[in-house]
A = this chain, B = another copy of it.
Amino acid sequence: MSGRIQDSTDMRTLTVQLGERSYPIYIGQHLLDQPELLTRHVDSRQVMIVTNETVAPLYLDKAKRAFADRQLATVILPDGESYKTIDSAMTVFDELLRLRFSRSAHLVALGGGVMGDLTGFAAASYQRGVPFIQIPTTLLSQVDSSVGGKTAVNHPRGKNMIGAFYQPKCVIADMSTLETLPDRELAAGLAEVIKYGLIRDPAFFDWLEADMDALLARNAEALTYAVEQSCRNKAEVVAADERESGERATLNLGHTFGHAVETGLGYGEVLHGEAIAIGTCQAADLSRRLGWLTDHDVDRIVSLLQRSRLPVTPPPSLDADAFLEHMAVDKKNVEGQLRLILLEKIGRATLPIPVEISNLRQTLETYGRH
């Protein structure tokens, strides 16, 4: 294939509307086989692809082919959330500087959310900012972290504590990469897909209830629709509130609980989406205690997550005190006051609201504790 790109008729293009920082999200099959799509937003001779040891054997060659006529460098990091660190970012900086890559160089994040967040932060910080593109290869990163410009690395005391708001030049979500995604990671992605239904799109939640079996069977049409609807919801939220002064915080439904699970168990023990599934159930339970959700609503939420093969109860090793300890370090908190995203109903989330510790403690001590 060469010359002018023939967009597949199946490819969908969404746009994240952010003025001069607007960018497209391409969603479709076999996009990595379209070199012109990869290079369309990379206006530089110097290109560095950052990926990991799991993704590299699968997709690095395809990505490299697209940039064969450039000065191309690759950094291959170990796989896993435990490598989303300042040290990994330094590995990227070391290589960029060893090769004397300039401020016009472009970075390419190839992989899941860890790769995207880390590479995005490296791009935001290298020489005070170089352009980058996102090629998410997991469902989770396609529907969540690759869109919206949140970049970060973790700190031992908390997830995503060191980072930047920094938008990519484009996002290329090649649905074909989901063919190689382990079942467990597919499920983890569904946790965030379901979130969009819960916080702002009740019709999408209904669709997920009806079509979950097709998603689990990796039906291409169903997966593409799910990614498209998720990205559309996320793009609308980000366009309205790029730096999270309002609605964007609702994307964190279940995340304060979930981050506590991740920090409490140690990065790598549990997948982000799994932790979010548990946290979403806890947030639903607390919303029920506050009189917003019915028992039936909570059942629908828990059972859809369960059908997605996700854990829905907190790990026994983390008691309520451990949760409270870890939840105290959260970006939504204001000067020590814990704030959470909760559900007013299925399809509508609250902004971050202060919660009574006594109510929260009841959820932490009773929900899923048999």
Interface residues of A (CB under 8 A from B): 44-46, 71, 86, 90, 93-94, 97-98, 100, 102-105, 124-129, 150-152, 155, 157-158, 160-165, 243, 328-329, 331-336
A152 touches B128 (CB 8 A): yes
B331 touches A162 (CB 8 A): no
Cross-interface CB contact of A165 among B71, B93, B100, B128, cutoff 8 Å: B128
A331 cross-chain contacts in B, Cβ below 8 A: 102-103, 127-128
Q: A124-B164, A127-B331, A164-B164 are in contact. Are A90 and B98 (CB under 8 A)?
A: no
Q: A128-B150, A128-B163, A164-B124 are in contact. Are A336 and B97 (CB under 8 A)?
A: no
A126 cross-chain contacts in B, Cβ below 8 A: 161-162
Instruction: List 24 contacting pairs A-B, 8 Å CB cutoff, sorted by A.
Output: A44-B335, A45-B335, A46-B335, A93-B161, A93-B162, A97-B155, A97-B158, A98-B157, A100-B336, A102-B333, A102-B334, A102-B335, A102-B336, A103-B332, A103-B333, A103-B334, A104-B335, A127-B161, A127-B331, A128-B152, A128-B164, A129-B165, A129-B243, A164-B164
A152 cross-chain contacts in B, Cβ below 8 A: 128
Can you name the residue of chain B whose Cβ is closest to the Cβ of A90?
B86
A71 cross-chain contacts in B, Cβ below 8 A: 335
* Closest chain B CB from A336 CB (angstroms): 7
